[in-house]
Each structure stands twice: as C-alpha cells, then as structure tokens.
Amino acid sequence: MGHVEATSTQLAWEQPGGPVRVRPLGPYIGAEVRGLNLAHLDDSTVTTVREELARHAVLMFPEQDLTPDHLLALAHHFGAIEHERFIPKLDGHPGVHLLRGISKTKLTTQNLIWHVDHSYKEHPLAIAALYALDVPPAGGDTLFASMSAAYDGLSDRMKTYLEGLTAVHDVMAYGMRSGLFNSADARAAIARMPPPAEHPLVCMHPASGRKILFVNESWTTSVVGLDPDESRAILDYLFAHATRPEYQFRLRWTKGSVCLWDNCAVQHRGIPDYDGLRLMHRIAVTGTWRPGA
C-alpha cells in the first residue's frame, strides 16, 4: 500500500477469457479492474486478486452481473462469511446484507463517520464488498483513506511517541451517538456484543508488512494511560490527520459495480449527499488478524 503512481498505464494479467487490466485511480489506494467476471473465479485468479488488493487496498470492478449466490461464493474465496447484526439481511441468503438509502438527518449504520468495520472486536473484519444494484444520478460516493499513508505522513517524533500506546475501541460509542438505544431490539443486540477491545495505535499490516495508523473516529474512544483531556487532544489530531484529503480515494459508484476493500488497510465512510434510490448488497469476511500481534 505504498505510493502508487496513478497514470494511464494499465497493469495486466492474462486469463482464459482474455486480459485483465488494473488501472490505479489514486496515489496511495484505489484501482479499477476490467476484464474480470467475479461470477467465475478460479484459484489462480483469486490469488492474483489478493495480490492486487494488497497493493491497492480498494478495488473497483465495473459492469458486473451478480446474484446473491455469486456474492457469497466471492466472499468464500477469501474466508468465512461475516454476519452483521445491525444491517438488514437479504431473505434466503445468510451473509448478504441489504443497504437501501441513507438518512441525511440521523446517524445510521450506512452513514457512519470515518470507521474501520468492527475495529471494536479483537479481530476486525478482513475484507468487505459492496455491489451496486441502483445508484442515484449524482452523489452517494464512498471515501476511503489509506492508514499506511497516514502513518508515513506523521513526523518522526510523533511516530516515536505513538509507538507502544494502545487505544480503546468500543461499539457502544455508535449506540450513544446514533440514538440506537431507543430500540429495545438494538439495545439487546448491543448487549450481546463483545466488550471493548484495546489495539495499538501503530500496527503492522498483516499482508503488506507496512506500519499503519490504527484509529478511527467511530469506534476509538480513548488512549490507555492518558488523562481524558490528553487522550481527546491526541485522538482529535489523529482523526483529522488520518483522513486528510491527500490520503483519500473517492469511489464514484456506477450500477453493476463491485467494490472490494481491505478493511485492515483503510478507513471509509459513505456520503449522504443525494436524493433518490441507492441500493446495494454487502458481504464481508471475518478476520483472523489481531492488531498489534
């Protein structure tokens, strides 16, 4: 996930159906993959996709035609299916979740501020994907930010200071902000969630081996061992630094596109700036990496 020159030059590999082209879309993360049908992947192709995902962190596959079963098969290539408690499920297809629209006025699971999926668990999600069934004529983009670029952009003195510090990641932070506790079912679901997790502020990414800044505004609540005011000052700085525009990639959705991202390498957030229909299917793969291990 180091710096990638975003030029018109296309990387390519051959497969039986023809060449697959990979075009970088951002300076640090993000690439478009054309010529690959995600409904028909063999082991060799999955290995190559893994390599490109480690290189670019976020992959966009336009012009796909996938059923829910295709999505489940895609996820199974990368690991065990994750079942999300707070997103509606697609009937008859456990593991496929339905994202329909985004509230502009109330915080929901679809318009969270910057976050890493399930960083509040001992093992955050490994990989997630969205498949765009319908998109609005304008708006509704998704932003991603590179956590390795964010770490690299810190001063040497700040890097030294952060080494060895850990932070608390707590799912309850979302419940408090969103008003989710107003629902008895949601309160019961949150009560079954694991206790807060502690993760180092600086971690080694399991695939790339690069150091990453592992914080996010949705779930990271405090730095262990610091006074509350000190903790808040450090976290506010890191939240702003990690999502600076130069570390970001903005994904503009098209109908039939699939976005696959490395959840341990990036933060992301959806932008609720649109009217009309935005309908997506979501799948995700459970993680085995424990940050800092």
Known catalytic residue at 268? yes
Dihedral of CA atoms 232, 233, 234, 236 in degrees, nearest 10, equals 80
Measured distance CA(5)–CA(30) in Å, rounded? 11
From the list 117, 152, 170, 262, the catalytic residue is 117
Known catalytic residue at 123? no
DSSP-derived secondary structure for 182-209: GSHHHHHHHHTSPPPEEEESEEE-TTT-
Measured distance CA(202)–CA(158) in Å, rounded? 11
Per-residue pLDDT of the chain (293 residues; tens, 9 = 90+): 555 544 445 777 777 667 899 999 999 999 999 999 999 999 989 999 999 999 999 999 999 999 999 999 999 999 999 988 778 889 999 999 998 876 666 556 556 789 999 999 999 999 999 999 999 999 999 999 999 999 999 999 999 999 999 999 998 876 666 555 566 766 676 667 778 999 999 999 998 899 999 999 999 999 999 999 999 999 999 999 999 999 999 999 999 999 999 999 999 999 888 888 889 999 999 999 999 87
pLDDT the model gives residue 279:
92
Per-domain residue ranges for the chain?
Answer: 1-288
Q: What is the pLDDT of residues 166-202, one digit of tens each?
A: 999 998 876 666 555 566 766 676 667 778 999 999 9
pLDDT the model gives residue 280:
94
Q: Which two tokens stand for residue 77?
A: 């290539």
pLDDT the model gives residue 194:
75
Known catalytic residue at 282? yes
pLDDT the model gives residue 176:
62
Measured distance CA(66)–CA(116) in Å, rounded? 26
* CATH code of the domain occupying 1-288: 3.60.130.10
Contact 267, 58 (CB under 8 A): no
Model confidence, pTM? 0.90
Sign, CA torsion 133/139/142/144: positive
DSSP-derived secondary structure for 156-186: HHHHHHHTT-EEEE-THHHHHHHTGGGSHHH
Residue whose entry in the numeric block shows the structure tokens 């670019």 = 56
Contact 218, 113 (CB under 8 A): yes
From the list 268, 269, 278, 281, the catalytic residue is 268
pLDDT the model gives residue 83:
87
pLDDT the model gives residue 6:
45
Strand partners, 48: none
pLDDT the model gives residue 72:
96
From the list 115, 118, 205, 269, the catalytic residue is 115
Strand partners, 213: 202
